[in-house]
């Protein structure tokens, strides 16, 4: 499994992904799931991957190769005119990899699919955020739901639903994501530290602040511990449900 979240704030795009990959519960590794392509002043595109690791690595390698190849190799991620075209390119690449793996040859019990989150900005245009399916099609984040999750989305979703606000600051958003990831890490062993993060500042058109949160990170630990206390305090301060008295 995996857990990735992207938030579209008023002034930034924020990405966070875990780094655990597993082939069975007895075979786990640390793998980066967040990738950024940028040409300062012109475009920044960040991709987060969830799903079959062979598939996602192939997709990233293909996108990467094509973006570095001679200019005539079009379309490529560094030259598509819009983020919509970028999402289509990524979707087509994903579909191509999945189809190649799935057709002919030996079959596998584990699916070849992957789900990707792609966001960024191209000069002169607004920042955009897309969720790309294994079938190659995709949806875009809107003002009604300006965030996407992939992988093990459920444990960490209620707090995002309750507390996310596009006007929050970057630091507040990172704190919210720490809490959302903390709930997920506590509940699903296939989501694991460290966490990768990228804060892209809207309009900057260059890579933003990128950092990794390790399992020994004192700030993360403090947020996790204090969140546990705060939840219990919050629960204690709720009105009690008036349980009916026993009638018989």
Number of residues counted as binding its own copies (CB under 8 A): 52
Q: Rank residues 90 and 200 by Cβ distance to its own copies and give the closer one.
A: 200
Q: Under the criterion CB under 8 A, does residue 161 sit at the interface with its own copies? A: yes
Structure tokens at 190: 């296939």
Q: Under the criterion CB under 8 A, does residue 227 sit at the interface with its own copies? A: yes
Residue 118, number of CB atoms within 10 A of its CB: 28
Q: Under the criterion CB under 8 A, does residue 219 sit at the interface with its own copies? A: yes
Q: Rank residues 25 and 243 by Cβ distance to its own copies and give the closer one.
A: 243
Q: Under the criterion CB under 8 A, does residue 84 sit at the interface with its own copies? A: no
DSSP letters spanning 217-246: -HHHHHHHHHHHHHHHHHHHTSPPP-PPPP
Peptide bond just before 75 cis, omega within 30 deg: yes
Smallest distance, Å, CB 227 to its own copies?
A: 6
Q: Give the C-alpha separation, 69 to 76, whole Å.
A: 9
Q: Rank residues 14 and 86 by Cβ distance to its own copies and give the closer one.
A: 14
The burial of 160, by beta-carbon neighbours within 10 Å (0-12 exposed, 13-18 middle, 19 or more buried), is given as: middle
CA gyration radius for the chain? 20
Which of residues 79, 159, 193, 202 is near its own copies by CB under 8 A?
A: 159
Q: Tell me the Ramachandran region of residue 151: left when phi exceeds 0, alpha when psi lies from -120 to 50, beta otherwise.
A: left
Secondary structure letter of residue 207 according to DSSP: -
Q: Under the criterion CB under 8 A, does residue 233 sit at the interface with its own copies? A: yes
Smallest distance, Å, CB 156 to its own copies?
A: 8
Which of residues 81, 92, 125, 211 is near its own copies by CB under 8 A?
A: 211
Q: Rank residues 55 and 180 by Cβ distance to its own copies and give the closer one.
A: 180
Q: Give the C-alpha separation, 15 to 175, whole Å.
A: 13
Q: Under the criterion CB under 8 A, does residue 191 sit at the interface with its own copies? A: no
Which of residues 123, 209, 214, 215 is near its own copies by CB under 8 A?
A: 209
Q: Rank residues 93 and 153 by Cβ distance to its own copies and give the closer one.
A: 153
Place of tokens 């009105």: 239
Interface residues for its own copies in 96-155 (CB under 8 A)? 154-155
Q: Give the C-alpha separation, 145 to 153, whole Å.
A: 15
Q: Under the criterion CB under 8 A, does residue 193 sit at the interface with its own copies? A: no
Binding site for its own copies (CB under 8 A): 154-159, 161-163, 170-172, 174-176, 178-179, 183, 186-187, 199, 206-209, 211, 213, 219-220, 222-223, 226-228, 230-246, 248
């Amino acid at each position: 499994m995996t857990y990735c979240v992207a938030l579209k704030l008023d002034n930034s795009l924020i990405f966070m992904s875990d780094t655990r990959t597993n082939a069975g519960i007895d075979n786990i590794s640390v793998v980066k799931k967040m990738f950024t392509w940028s040409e300062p002043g012109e475009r920044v595109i960040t991709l987060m991957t969830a799903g079959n690791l062979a598939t996602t690595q192939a997709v990233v390698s293909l996108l990467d190769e094509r973006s570095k190849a001679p200019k005539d190799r079009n379309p490529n991620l560094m030259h598509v005119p819009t983020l919509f075209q970028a999402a289509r390119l990524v979707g087509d690449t994903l579909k191509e990899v999945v189809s190649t793996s799935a057709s002919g040859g030996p079959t596998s019990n584990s699916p070849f699919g992957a789900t990707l989150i792609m966001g960024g900005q191209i000069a002169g245009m607004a920042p955009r955020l897309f969720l790309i399916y294994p079938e190659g099609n995709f949806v875009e984040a809107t003002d009604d739901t300006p965030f996407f999750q992939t992988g093990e989305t459920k444990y960490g979703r209620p707090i995002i639903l309750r507390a996310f606000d596009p006007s929050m600051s970057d630091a507040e958003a990172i704190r919210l994501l720490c809490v959302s990831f903390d709930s997920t890490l506590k509940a699903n062993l296939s989501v694991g530290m460290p966490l990768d993060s990228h804060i892209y500042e809207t309009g900057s058109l260059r890579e933003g602040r990128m950092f990794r949160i390790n399992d020994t990170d004192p700030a993360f630990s403090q947020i996790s511990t204090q969140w546990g206390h705060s939840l219990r305090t919050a629960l204690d301060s709720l009105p009690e449900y008036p349980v009916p008295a026993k009638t018989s």
